[in-house]
Structure 1
Amino acid sequence: MKIMFVCLGNICRSPTAHAIAIKRAIEQGLTYIEFSSSGTSGYHVGEHPDERAITHGARHGYDLSRLTAQRLSQDDFYEQDLILTMDEQNYRDVLAMQPEDATAMIKRLLDYHPDHELTQVPDPYYGGQAGFDAVIAMCETAIDSLFILLNNR
């Protein structure tokens, strides 16, 4: 199974979710899942995640430092099994890019969060430091719930 996390620039939210998923999957022995992340824009292609995302991730035990931003491609709609977006705008953008015969399922990451009042992982880029910790907490909970569903299949 291949899962891709998508946000706008692929330097804050989606690489954070990517790193969390890798670590959690290793801890749970979910070796059949491959993870990646991308952005709907190409603003940061080839760059590492935002330093604040790297720092906050490391404080929580996640390594974002080896990830590199890429842009969502048409091939991803066929190569991925599940594409998880971080917010409503990214969800709409991904749906608009989706080819008619695409095989990937597209959902919002927070569709898996137990608090259904939460619908968007907020972009911490222009906010304060606490925003990065909030992104980590939301992603951890949603990814843990997703893994429970996958384990029960």
Structure 2
Amino acid sequence: MLPPARSPGRYRVELVCLGNICRSPTAHVVVAERLADAGLDGVVTVTSSGTGDWHVGGPMDRRAAATLTAAGYDASRHRARLWETGDELDLVLAMDDANLADLGGRTDRVRKFRDLDPVDPGSDVPDPYYGGPDGFEEVLAMVERTAAALVGALEHERPWEAGQDPGQP
């Protein structure tokens, strides 16, 4: 179950990894396309960021971009961003346990991306940075099926319609 929107009419999702050049931007591109395909891009906003500042302002890793491009996605617009407080976000999805810890741990609004994975829920999205092309393809496969599940949950639950109860933190 997804947390309700902090305010009705809009839902904000942030995807977070370490450097915001491989995993979270791959997920960002795929989720954004799935949202558009479902007609939800007008009510659900997806962004991505990293907990480390090494790549801020730079493009996606060339291998991640090549994998996305080969699969028919547009990876050209991404620029790495540094994670900032998520107080205005409705849902923050970390790519692995270390990223989750960097975000302060699991809460109702902070979870792991693969908590929604129908094949292996709760697992990490492995960091392909130090590996070969197969790692990027493996990440894309995990991201595609988890993105489909996330968008399906958004379509079913429509959390932007409920809004956050003012009495809840």
Say yes or no: TM over 0.5: yes
Aligned to 1:134: 138
For residue 44 of structure 1, the aligned residue among 55, 69, 72 is 55
Alignment of 1:11 onto 2:21:
yes
Q: Equivalent residues in 2 for 1:16-31 (5 A)?
A: 16-31=26-41
* AA partner of residue 149 (structure 2): S
Q: Equivalent residues in 2 for 1:40-119 (5 A)?
A: 40-74=51-85, 77-95=86-104, 105-116=109-120, 119=123
More helix by share: 1
Alignment partners' CA distance in 2, 1:108 and 1:117:
9
Stretches of structure 1 lacking an aligned partner (at least 5 in a row): none
* AA partner of residue 151 (structure 2): F
Deviation at 1:18, TM superposition (A): 0.2
Q: Greater relative contact order (Cα 8 A, min sep 6): structure 1 or 2?
A: 2
TM-score (norm 2): 0.82
CA contact (8 A) 2:30 2:73 kept: yes
Deviations 1:98-122 (A, max 9, x none): 9xxxx98101000000123660101
RMSD after superposition: 1.7
* AA partner of residue 130 (structure 2): Y
* AA partner of residue 51 (structure 2): T
CA contact (8 A) 2:116 2:122 kept: no
Alignment partners' CA distance in 1, 2:74 and 2:24:
13
Aligned to 2:149: 145
Deviation at 1:138, TM superposition (A): 0.3
Give the number of the structure whose alpha-carbon radius of gyration is greater: 2
Alignment partners' CA distance in 1, 2:147 and 2:34:
8
TM-score (norm 1): 0.90
Aligned to 2:45: 34
How many residues of Structure 1 are paired with residues of Structure 2 in the alignment? 146
